[in-house]
Structure 1
Amino acid sequence: MATYHIETYGCTSNRGESRQIERKLRDAGHYRVDGADEADVAILNTCTVVEKTERNMLRRAEELAAETADLIVTGCMALAQGEQFEDLDAQVLHWEDVPAAVTNGECPTTTPDAEPVLDGVVGILPIARGCMSNCSYCITKFATGRVDSPPIEENVEKARALVHAGAKELRITGQDTGVYGWDTGERKLPELLDRICDIDGEFRVRLGMANPGGAHGIHEELAEVFAANEKLYNFIHLPVQSGSDDVLEAMRRQHRVGKFEAVVDAFEDRLDHWTLSTDFIVGFPTETEADHERSMDLLERVRPEKINVTRFSKRPGTDAAEMKGLGGTIKKERSKAMSELKREICTDVHASMVGETHEILVVEDGTGDSVKCRDGAYRQVIVTDATERGIETGDTLEVEITAHEAMYCFGEPIEVRNERPAAV
């Protein structure tokens, strides 16, 4: 788990984005400290209204870079003028990518009691606690231990309660959802997903992170479950972390590149419109230039629709912290190269959707008067002027995709369906 320090400048939108960053960090088991000098990572959410503001942002970024081990710069100036921060040892990221970067490739940490939570129309259901891995860079395992899987029926009842309480989207979470049931000697995830999809009601289900090593043994059955259940978003998060088997061995990951690609192929064979999400750690201590090129080749070959790129940083008490690290310049250059390829791939994916019609679920409020929605493959679609159009979270819309950015699309409603009672 990491400690973080966050500073926010500018408008209400920036403050709202920082709140969402913090919520995701807290959900992952990280916690805030007051000073950058006490933090594993500092986050600067920038503003760029006038030239004086820009100078202040650069000066503050320089100060933070000197005070903390890792600096992440996000917000308006980072996105509009990212080149201004090139001389700093900092990651320049879209705010939605910040939580993944802070986690350093580690598994998420569920709440201590692993109880479900309803957040608006999103139900968060931790199905197990702990993992079966022993990754050399991960500190989360010290907090969570080995996997502990409650019975299927217990998780189904928790899911049913969330749906009855108003959840329109169920997010199935855990340190590693793919190993659910391993502690009982059975591979139970496909059966659990089937049972949850059988619950009465109109809702969607998103499966959280499944490491390739755990997913591989059930990948054929898992892909069949996705193909058979319309309630399941056609989305899977498989963090490969490197395209080099040598690096994966040094990381003590439970998979090699071949297993990762076998899982991907199983989903590709059975699903048409679907999303692959994956993670890469750039600059692991043993990573050579050839290893980095293997990661770039894998990214180009598989072309995931969602990609988290994280620069390696040491976590105290882990074996990787004792390794001689790579220089900051090397990590920065490799991270930049991979992030540029990531942006190209993600832009191509969203550009290809323009002109298509998709059914989407409104899951949360966006900035201004927009709402954030998800299509059947869990790709993000933004709809503007929500109040004027009478659109609220929980509604199902049919939209035409009219425009795109690198990481999301814009949709124009054709039809709005909701279950709210008519006004009297």
Structure 2
Amino acid sequence: MAKIWVESYGCSASFADAEMISGLIVNGGHTLASSSKDSDLNLIVTCSVKDATANKMVNRIKRLKSKPLVVAGCLAKAEPKSVQKFSPNASLMGPNSIGKTLQIIDHTLSGRKKIELEDSDITKTGLPKVRLNPIVGIVEIASGCMSDCTFCQTKLARGDLQSYRLGDIVRQVEHEVNDGCKEIWLTSTDNGCYGLDIGTTLPELVNKVSEIPKEFMIRVGMMNPMYMPKIKNDLVESFENDKVFKFLHVPVQSGSNDILHEMKRGHTAETFRDVVKRFKDRFGRFTISTDIIVGFPGETEQDFADTVQLIKDTKPDVVNLSRYSQRPGTKAAEMVQLDVAKIKDRSKELFNLINQITLQNNQQWVGWSGEVLFDEQTDDMVRGRNFAYKPVFVDDMVQVGDKAKVKITRATNHGLYGLIAS
């Protein structure tokens, strides 16, 4: 039996994959190494969403290939030739092939490279796992998506939508909660289209999970705006449940409808505005997270100005800002690219605006008192989340998994800081 080192990068779905891979490893009789230095085999779950991320993956692959290596995840599926260029002897495993983890490890340990990139997993519910965080249960509800965005390599890696059965997901959540999880993340490539292939919807799933008679909180993961008009009314109703964090991650990507058309996003800037207004009008304090790509091919000064205005108007709490980068195999990679210096300048302008808005949003919480669920230990503080999934930091003696009433005393761009209320 071998010591296996597992490390993962990217979205919550990638981390969920890493947890299940680790569970299969342990169930298969192997042990998890405490570091790559202490391992007999290294396994990396990769992400390929951006150039900077892919470059980081390549650097990690180069460092880990001194021992038998398995490269899993999106980069392995979307760019197998690139992986093999930097590590010719590495075995490859796709995001929907993790059921073959033990076979791949056994082959690799015996010096035989094995490549498993086909979609062989019908569902990922019910697999054993070793959690990265003992109180957070990451539950995948589907694989792939229904979109065809011109900039996105994730579709190449994870394929078309394959929703998992509602009952299987509910049973998985029950298992997580019974195993001590206080926070459940419902995650997939795109939660917004969950169930459209099997006759159900995301709001129906959220309602069923909320009915589980245990004390826990639900974080509903990323959903693209294009499917929101179909489900938003029902989704607002499902968010009425106190178990659901008042938080949405809805990546708009651009404020220009012309650019959104070129991206093949399937929605308009108005779609995003409507979603933000609908949820903030209903719940008041509500956290909106979004993604923006600056410098997409063909982006004019007016297109960029439209994006700036959208951010000013909607004031999202979290903006994941990215400079456009060509990803191999995507349609946008074949388009005429913008000048790098221009992209950099636009990114800097938007970055400064985002920081300003984030700080203003967070400062509105100063003086608030309420319950916080502490879910992560940072270097010198414990971080929690309030009902709106706002990060709350305290330096009092609390443990991960605790709940406590906190009074917010100050705010920064990065979160809220407070004291345990007596």
- TM-score, length-scaled by structure 2: 0.72
Are the equivalent residues in 2 in contact too, given 1:28–1:110 (CA < 8 A)? Answer: no
Give the alignment partner of residue 394 of structure 1, picking from 394, 401, 405.
401
Residue in 1 that maps onto 2:367: 355
The answer to whether 1:382 aligns with 2:393 is yes
Deviates more, 1:300-309 or 1:110-119: 110-119
TM-aligned CA distance change 1:39 to 1:192, over 3 Å: closer
1:282 aligns to 2:275 (yes or no) = no
Q: 1:374 to 1:111 in 2, by over 3 A?
A: farther
1:6-405 aligned at under 5 Å gives the runs 27=15, 40-42=54-56, 112=98, 114-115=124-125, 117=129, 118=131, 119-184=133-198, 186-227=199-240, 229-368=241-380, 370-385=381-396, 389=397, 391-405=398-412
- 1:248-296: per-residue Cα shift (whole Å, max 9, x none)? 0000102111222222222123112110111100000111111000000
1:411 aligns with 2:418: yes
Does structure 2 retain, via aligned residues, the 8 Å contact 1:120–1:364? Answer: no
| Structure 2 SS opposite 1:170 | strand
Residues paired across the two proteins, number: 322
Shift of the alpha carbon at 1:238?
0.4
3-state SS in 1 of match to 2:361: helix
RMSD: 2.4
SS at structure 1 position matched to 2:366: coil
My pick for the range that moved more, 255-264 or 116-125, is 116-125
Query: How far apart, CA to CA, are the structure 2 residues paired with 1:300 and 1:380?
Result: 22
C-alpha change, 1:240 and 1:32, in structure 2 (3 Å) is closer
CA distance in 1, matches of 2:369, 2:239: 21
Kept after mapping to 2: 8 A contact 1:283/1:326: yes
Deviation track 1:106-156 (CA, whole Å, cap 9, x = no partner) reads xxx788453475431000000011100000011111121111112211111
Unpaired segments ≥5 residues, structure 2:
1-6, 18-43, 58-94, 99-120
Change in 2 beyond 3 A, CA 1:110/1:212: farther
Retained in 2: the 8 A contact 1:176–1:209?
yes
> Structure 1 CA distance, aligned partners of 2:233 and 2:388?
19
Distance 1:162 1:187 in 2: 23
Structure 1 segments, 4+ long, off by >6 Å, are 19-25
Task: Give the whole-Å Cα distance in 1 for the aligned partners of 2:160 and 2:221.
Answer: 18
Unaligned segments of structure 1, at least 5 residues = 1-18, 44-108, 416-424
Amino acid at match of 1:267: F
> How many angstroms apart in 2 are the aligned matches of 1:291 and 1:331?
13
User: Aligned-pair distance for 1:171?
Assistant: 0.4
**Inter-CA distance 110–360: structure 2 relative to 1 (3 Å threshold):** farther
Q: Deviations over 1:14-49 (max 9, x none)?
A: xxxxx896796953988569xxx9984349xxxxxx
Q: Partner residue of 2:33?
A: none
For residue 376 of structure 1, report the CA deviation from its aligned partner.
0.4
Aligned to 1:13: none
Asked if structure 2 preserves the Cα contact closer than 8 Å seen for 1:167 and 1:203, the reply is yes
Change (3 A) 1:28 1:258: farther
1:48 is matched with none
Instruction: Give me the TM-score of the superposition, normalised by structure 1.
Output: 0.72
Structure 2 distance, partners of 1:234, 1:40, is 32
Maintained 8 Å contact 2:191/2:223 = yes
Moved more, 316-325 or 142-151: 142-151
Letter matched to residue 171 of structure 1:
W
Using the alignment, how far apart are the partners of 1:244 and 1:167 within structure 2? Answer: 41
Partner residue in 2 for 1:92: none
Q: What CA distance in whole angstroms lies between the structure 1 residues aligned with 2:220 and 2:55?
A: 28
